[in-house]
Structure 1
Amino acid sequence: MSEDAPTAVFLAIYIITFLIGFPNSALAFYSGIHKIHRQCIPIDIFMLNLAISDLIFLTFLPIKMKEAADNMVWNMPYFLCNFHMFVFFLPVYSSSLFLTAISAERYVCIAFPVKYKSQKRIIYTVPICVGIWVIVAVSSLFVYKAAQIDSDEADNTTNQRPLVTEPQTCYINFTEKQLIKLLPVRLGLAVVFFFLPLLTCCFCYINFVCILLKRPLINRKRKLRAIGLALGTLLVFVGSFAPYNISHLVSFIKNENPEWRMTTIILTTLNACYDPIIFFLAGAAQTNLSAVQFFMDKAAA
């Protein structure tokens, strides 16, 4: 463990995240179901899946709390180590892709308002969400397999514990053979689930802002609200996921598991608190975007 990030801090942040994030994510989930029943649009489907992703993460966050409370000593049944590793990282990867999909929807909404209103887009949205979950689940299994390699050498006294690389820890220390397989996999995940989505988000939001600024018929207040939400979402995306994925890049270059990587996981944890805020603000912003579409259609006419 890094001295800069004691387990007491980890535990406090996990608890705060759970207390704030779980009720808000549950409310976001309920609100998303209500919106889809009332009027189904693609961005609401992506928002609902984002809420589901956060709920999965928060439901099993108490396992992480227990680990931090025990000073990162794994005092739970060892089968939970495998399980918690999967459910902890799966929502991290899915959240980044759903936030990217939401950025693309906002860009399409303002850049191609006529196509955005097409009912066919609903038909495409559901398979996209299913595809995201499948990609994330399969990718998480790659991490599981890579960490499982050479498990006997990692834990000579407990060779039946594939992911537990020390008798009393879970997914923290790794052997050289494990790192040879694990670090390239992590780098690939960083590229697929962060760096490429980041480029996509930047493209969508930069063009989103540029298009809004060029529309003289749109009220300045509406512009600022929509732009503020877009930039805020981008900052949340970068702040939550950049340090964690940069740690993958540094690990690959140095061929080691940096101690500060555990600290970056805290930032990804806090993302579960930010997503519900984005969800509810997006509801108000969607009204503004509907008005923007009206003005754009009027201008085109």
Structure 2
Amino acid sequence: IMTSWRNPLILTAYIIIFLTGLPANLLALRAFTGRVRQPHPAPIHILLLSLTLADLLLLLLLPFKMTEAAYNFRWYLPELLCALTGFGFYSSIYCSTWLLAGISIERYLGVAFPVQYKLSRKPVYGVIAALVAWIMSFGHCTIVIIGQYWNSTRNATNEDGITCYEDFNSSQLKLVLPVRLELCLFLFFVPMVITIFCYWRFVWIMLTQPHVGAQRRRRAVGLAVVTLLNFLVCFGPYNISHLVGFFTRKSPLWRAEAVVLSSLNASLDPLLFYFSSSAVRRAFGKGLQVLRHRGSSLLGRRGQETAEGTNVDRGVSQAEGAPSSDFTTD
């Protein structure tokens, strides 16, 4: 049923993203859940937990995107699943852009105004910011799904399958293209500009403060680079397709590949979590130790590996003794 190299390539990309992103985000979910359950959690942990949930929502919907790619982008499942999959998939993408912007704002305030930030830091601010991001993304994508789903699939037959949110007629394009443009401007360009400014200031402050250690400087640069890659590599092509579609009055042929890149953020975000939180670094370290221990036990070297794992764990504990995800300069 797959008729060209393009469909197997997209399917393979989805499978790789799913296999790499799901376990990493589950580890991050466990770490952030533990942090949020503590008394007076920091707003940054609430934002990071929300970003993890957005990634997991996208990853749980990827099998439906895999099925679509495997069948030459024809949808043979119930039509309602087409609407629900698209709604959740695109909502998670645009929720992530504003959550990333919120994280960048928190980072900048933490190093630019460390004393004032610590005095005014309250968990409710993180909850409000996360709710605003979810409401904005779900609200906007509701309009898109209604406009695209009901108009583009109602005349399709189940035997031939349907196409999800493609092949619009002129009347459908009058609704779809302006809404996509608004999505691009408000849910991509605005948070990207905010994020670039905040991380530019954040990294500059971290690199110019003489009492900031080299390890924290490297983490700061890594955090900024991963976030910038998220916007430019993952979200950029998909949103550029909205601009191209608005001016050419049709969806570009490379839109499906752009959607794949958007889902790649679910595999990149764990790197952001790693640079952001010592709790996540410990969780990833322990996960790797478990894998190494099980692998070595199959080879009959359980005792030797256990001793090595104990030493490594002590090293990690000592190295990660600083407060989790604390980039403040005071």
Q: Which residue of 2 aligns with 1:135?
A: 136
Residues 72-112 of structure 1: per-residue CA shift (max 9 Å, x gap): 12111122111111111111111111111111111111011
Q: Which residue of 2 aligns with 1:81?
A: 82
**CA distance in 2 between partners of 1:171 and 1:150 (Å):** 9
Compute the displacement of 1:61 (Å): 1.2
* SS of aligned partner of 2:107: helix
Comparing 207-216 with 194-203, greater Cα deviation is found at 207-216
Please give the TM-score of this superposition, normalised by the length of structure 2: 0.79
Residues 19-66 of structure 1: per-residue CA shift (max 9 Å, x gap): 111111111111101112236111111000001011111112111111
Please give the TM-score of this superposition, normalised by the length of structure 1: 0.87
Q: Which letter maps to 1:77?
A: P
* SS of aligned partner of 1:256: coil
Task: Give the root-mean-square deviation of aligned CA atoms.
Answer: 2.4
* SS of aligned partner of 1:170: coil
Residues 190-243 of structure 1: per-residue CA shift (max 9 Å, x gap): 111110011001110111122123212223343233223222222222211011
Q: Which letter maps to 2:111?
A: I
Alpha carbons of structure 1 residues 96 and 291: separation in structure 2 relative to 1, 3 Å: closer
Compute the displacement of 1:140 (Å): 0.7
**CA distance in 2 between partners of 1:75 and 1:145 (Å):** 20
Q: Which residue of 1 aligns with 2:22?
A: 22
Compute the displacement of 1:115 (Å): 2.3
CA contact (8 A) 1:97 1:132 kept: yes
Q: Which letter maps to 1:270?
A: L
Query: Equivalences for 1:99-110 in 2 at 5 Å?
Result: 99-110=100-111
Q: How many matched pairs? A: 285
Q: Which letter maps to 2:189?
A: F
Q: Which residue of 2 aligns with 1:111?
A: 112
Compute the displacement of 1:245 (Å): 0.5
Alpha carbons of structure 1 residues 291 and 41: separation in structure 2 relative to 1, 3 Å: closer
Compute the displacement of 1:157 (Å): 5.5
Q: Which residue of 2 aligns with 1:233?
A: 227
**CA distance in 2 between partners of 1:290 and 1:53 (Å):** 20
Q: Which residue of 1 aligns with 2:182?
A: 188
List runs of 5+ in structure 1 lacking aligned partners.
Answer: none
CA contact (8 A) 1:205 1:230 kept: yes
Q: Which residue of 2 aligns with 1:35?
A: 35
CA contact (8 A) 1:229 1:282 kept: yes
Runs of 4+ in 1 over 4 A off after TM superposition: 148-151, 154-158, 285-292
CA contact (8 A) 2:219 2:276 kept: no
User: Which one of 192, 212, 236 corresponds to residue 198 of structure 1?
Assistant: 192
**CA distance in 1 between partners of 2:31 and 2:168 (Å):** 43
1:93 aligns with 2:87: no
Alpha carbons of structure 1 residues 67 and 114: separation in structure 2 relative to 1, 3 Å: same
Q: Which residue of 1 aligns with 2:306?
A: none
Alpha carbons of structure 1 residues 260 and 157: separation in structure 2 relative to 1, 3 Å: closer
CA contact (8 A) 2:95 2:133 kept: yes
Alpha carbons of structure 1 residues 226 and 71: separation in structure 2 relative to 1, 3 Å: same
List runs of 5+ in structure 2 lacking aligned partners.
Answer: 282-319
CA contact (8 A) 2:8 2:70 kept: yes
**CA distance in 2 between partners of 1:16 and 1:157 (Å):** 31
**CA distance in 2 between partners of 1:273 and 1:44 (Å):** 19
Alpha carbons of structure 1 residues 127 and 9: separation in structure 2 relative to 1, 3 Å: same
Identity across the alignment (%): 38
